[in-house]
Chain A
Amino acid sequence: MTRKRRRLYILMLCAIGLGSATALTLTAFQDNLVFFRSPSDIVAETPPQGRAFRLGGLVEAGSVVRDATYDGRPAITFRVTDGAHAIPVVFNGVLPDLFREGQGVVTQGVMGTDGTFRAREVLARHDETYMPPEVADALKRAGHWQPEAGAPPPPNQWNTLRGNNAPAPTPARTGS
């Protein structure tokens, strides 16, 4: 076998490998990209049925019901808000350790026909001062935090947020 032939074989193999990797990535992307939506996004545009997405925001204070039943199994219901709108969520499962009212949360699941979000997963972080970037952004877009005014207020003060008639959050500390 000449060197040229061998190089040709190797190049062909590489092309096949790269090509199949690209094709696999693209097909898998098509069905499995999970979009992030805030409650306001959902109100503005109804998400497609049956397609999983992530819903993020703050757990509305006083909305957590821990002894609900859904689908014949124990469930927890709560509402996720970005200050402007709130979406009811139902979750069959054990909540993560840092799930708390008034704190940032990201849930993944599908929208039910009744307007309730059916969460398959609830992601909360192992740091009580951690604000998921998506949630911070959703709050910004809903007008509850002006980045120009300074850093976001600590999450444990945001639990005064309630649905539509939310009072403005404690203004961020300015100056020092």
Chain B
Amino acid sequence: MIPEIGHFALIMALMLSVAQSVLPLWGAHRGDARLMATASPLAFAGLVAVGVGFGALIWSFVVNDTTVMNVVQNSHSAKPLIYKITGTWGNHEGSMVLWVLTLAICAAAVAGFGRDLPSGLKSRVLAVMGMISLGFLAFTLFTSNPFDRVWPPPPDGQGLNPLLQDIGLAIHPPLLYVGYVGYAVTFAFAVAALIEGRVDAAWGRWVRPWSLAAWAFLTMGIAIGSWWAYYELGWGGFWFWDPVENASLLPWLVGAALLHSAIVVEKREALKVWTVLLALLAFALSLLGTFLVRSGVLNSVHSFASDPARGVFILGLLAVYVAGAFALFAWRAPAMAPQGVFSPLSREGGIVLNNLLLCSIAAVVFVGTLYPLFLDLLTGQMISVGPPFYNMATAPLAFPLVVAMAMGPLMAWKRAAFWPVLQRLWWAACIALLAFILALVLGGWNALPALGFACGFWLLAGAVVDIGDRSGLGRTKLANVFNRARHLPRAAWGAAIAHAGMGVTILGISGMGLATERLIALPAGGTTQFAGYEWRLDGVRDFQGPNWTSRKASITVMRDGQVLHVMEPSRRFFPVGRMTTTEAAIRTNLARDLYAVLGEERDGPTGQREAVLRLHHKPLAPWIWIGAGIMALGAGLSLSDRRVRIAAPNRRRREAEEAARAGATA
């Protein structure tokens, strides 16, 4: 019964989204206030309907309802409750329902917080969101219905993939989805602006927080996915330039460009057409990411069950939305008159440079990701594009981006001078140079990681200079400086913190560039010297888990005769599903990670039993994810800025005016 209610609720949501995509749009076109007013209630009703559907699906998973096909394939009564719940979106069908739910939440948020939006713009935005929701609900219901029944019901489910029973993987997809769907909102705003033929500062004020929020969630989603790959897959890397990873990086890059150019629209009413284009691109790339993951056209480690019918459907959606939006863009964009003249050397100019470099990096990643696909289609030749390509092609673009990143915030709007900016940054440059030389000497003359260290310290020092400069450091008394720093707009703090977070991430990545590893076969009691530590294999023994058995090694890590860590890497065997997983052991002290993986056991040359171990020493590894967290924090701080909430007093003033008018007529 519950699954039928869920199914019915999704069909209701589909009908509501049809109404939502037609009525408000028609109303806005005719200037009919009653039709336009249907937009918000329809958005709220859509949220309720999708919410009921999603709740019904969670319920089916929690009670392990084996008459539902999706539960049979993806769940099992022996799973812990938390993984039963997270398993709801750990599969294709459920994740599509989550996608639609996130979209419905965003639409309801636009309807709820957007009381101050001009009613024409608001109804058009909600109508476009209704169209997106319509496409994805149709996709879910027609090609991947999560509520399909199976009869007779099997005694229990089959879904116990041990790799997916992990907290990192449970929160990674929802975060990514919020990011992707956030760009659906900016897309809707861009399309609505194109229909109206008008982009102004108020539009920028609405687009900026949405792009900021979407970007913050995407940052966290990507970081958690990368962290999961690092500790769970046992390869010892954090980023593999896998097509599916690239698919999430593309909207991140374009989204970063968007949130900067939206500032220019808001503050200076310039770069309008470009910002609209970026908003369209960011969502197009999010859709492309969904298509790549769902269709299985690219060979990737993310092996979702692929189904050609689904791929064609999503490709169709992609074509309709993207081609439609770009046709509208080509038709209407020339009508938008540019305003806000600025000199190339100014804050605006800096943001143009930032946009240009970010988009160039995105273009390189895009080509590298899709080139194998096209070559295969055109010539049948099979190739792959690996990490060396991306490192070689993106690093020369990332370097000037980082150099400009510290300088941009110090430039004045409209027209700036180069020399004062350099004067304020000279000590940051000294720190960067010092870091470069130190890293070069201590890191064994590796130029690229040393350059990375220089970039990281340059950004950190640049952020300090930015805040110091804004609070008048060196121009006024220290007490004054603190007072001023406290009262700086939160957006200023947010920007500085996000830039510093990027610096921390770059330091982490550079540290990874100095990582070393050793592959060695040790008998029980054998020791080896590696990375300045003494590693002793105490032994390998059997271990019994709840639904797996494992071989677990015990390694004692010592320095100068003192025991630092006992590490226990293991290999687990899951009899249900006949799977083996590698559980790496990781010990961190924030300055470095020690990482151990247990390999084969075998008879050594002397006849002793040996275990093959892979040991890694990874300097600064945790900083990669800490930096990503700082970036997201900076974005969040910027979101809480007064400027974003400025609409509230406006509303109060308007209400007061209306009340006064009512009083006057009474």
Contact A20 B600, beta carbon cutoff 8 Å = no
The answer to whether the Cβ of B158 comes within 8 Å of any Cβ in the partner chain is no
Give chain B residues whose Cβ lies under 8 Å from the Cβ of A13.
Answer: 344, 352-353, 356
Name the one of B161, B301, B385, B579 contacting A32, with C-beta atoms under 8 angstroms: B385
Q: Which of B357-396 contact A (CB under 8 A)?
A: 357, 359-361, 363-364, 367-368, 371, 381-386, 388-390, 392-393, 396
Which of the candidate stretches A23-31, A144-152, A157-165 sits at the interface with the other chain? A23-31
Give chain B residues whose Cβ lies under 8 Å from the Cβ of A31.
Answer: 388, 392
Contact A32 B352, beta carbon cutoff 8 Å = no
Q: B357's closest neighbor in chain A, by CB?
A: A17
A132 CB to nearest B CB, Å: 6
Contact A33 B614, beta carbon cutoff 8 Å = no
Q: Which of B97-128 contact A (CB under 8 A)?
A: none
Contact B163 A93, beta carbon cutoff 8 Å = no
Query: What is the total of A-B residue contacts with beta carbons within 8 Å?
Result: 133
Contact B392 A28, beta carbon cutoff 8 Å = yes
B647 CB to nearest A CB, Å: 32
B517 CB to nearest A CB, Å: 9
The answer to whether the Cβ of B342 comes within 8 Å of any Cβ in the partner chain is yes
Name the one of A24, A74, A96, A133 contacting B364, with C-beta atoms under 8 angstroms: A24
A-B contact pairs, 14 of them (CB 8 A): A1-B342, A3-B338, A13-B352, A17-B359, A17-B360, A21-B393, A24-B397, A27-B393, A28-B388, A28-B393, A74-B600, A94-B597, A125-B303, A132-B299
Name the one of A28, A36, A73, A132 contacting B389, with C-beta atoms under 8 angstroms: A28
Contact A1 B382, beta carbon cutoff 8 Å = no
Name the one of B338, B367, B519, B579 contacting A97, with C-beta atoms under 8 angstroms: B579
Contact B393 A24, beta carbon cutoff 8 Å = yes
How far, in angstroms, from A96 to B240 measured CA to CA in the complex? 15
Give chain B residues whose Cβ lies under 8 Å from the Cβ of A128.
Answer: 577-579
Name the one of B363, B364, B384, B600 contacting A34, with C-beta atoms under 8 angstroms: B384
How many chain A residues touch B (CB < 8 A): the figure is 47
A126 CB to nearest B CB, Å: 6
Q: Which of A1-56 contact B (CB under 8 A)?
A: 1, 3, 6, 9-10, 13-14, 17-18, 20-21, 24-25, 27-29, 31-36, 54
Name the one of B356, B381, B384, B614 contacting A14, with C-beta atoms under 8 angstroms: B356
Name the one of A3, A32, A76, A98 contacting B341, with C-beta atoms under 8 angstroms: A3
The listed residue with most A CB atoms (<10 A of its CB), out of B356, B384, B390, B579, is B384
How far, in angstroms, from A31 to B387 measured CA to CA in the complex? 12
Give chain B residues whose Cβ lies under 8 Å from the Cβ of A17.
Answer: 356-357, 359-360
Name the one of B341, B393, B520 contacting A74, with C-beta atoms under 8 angstroms: B520
How many chain B residues touch A (CB < 8 A): the figure is 56
How far, in angstroms, from A123 to B303 measured CA to CA in the complex? 13
Name the one of B303, B338, B386, B520 contacting A130, with C-beta atoms under 8 angstroms: B303
Give chain B residues whose Cβ lies under 8 Å from the Cβ of A108.
Answer: 386
Give chain B residues whose Cβ lies under 8 Å from the Cβ of A133.
Answer: 299
Name the one of B360, B363, B389 contacting A29, with C-beta atoms under 8 angstroms: B389
Give chain A residues whose Cβ lies under 8 Å from the Cβ of B604.
Answer: 67
Asked if A94 meets B599 with Cβ closer than 8 Å, knowing A13-B352, A24-B393, A74-B521, the reply is yes
Q: B361's closest neighbor in chain A, by CB?
A: A21
How far, in angstroms, from A12 to B371 measured CA to CA in the complex? 27
Additional 11 contacts, C-beta under 8 A, given A28-B388, A74-B520 = A3-B341, A18-B360, A21-B393, A29-B385, A32-B385, A36-B382, A94-B582, A126-B301, A128-B577, A128-B578, A134-B299
Q: CB-CB contacts of B544-588 with A at 8 A, as 1s and 0s?
A: 000000000000000000000000000000000111111000000
The answer to whether the Cβ of B602 comes within 8 Å of any Cβ in the partner chain is yes
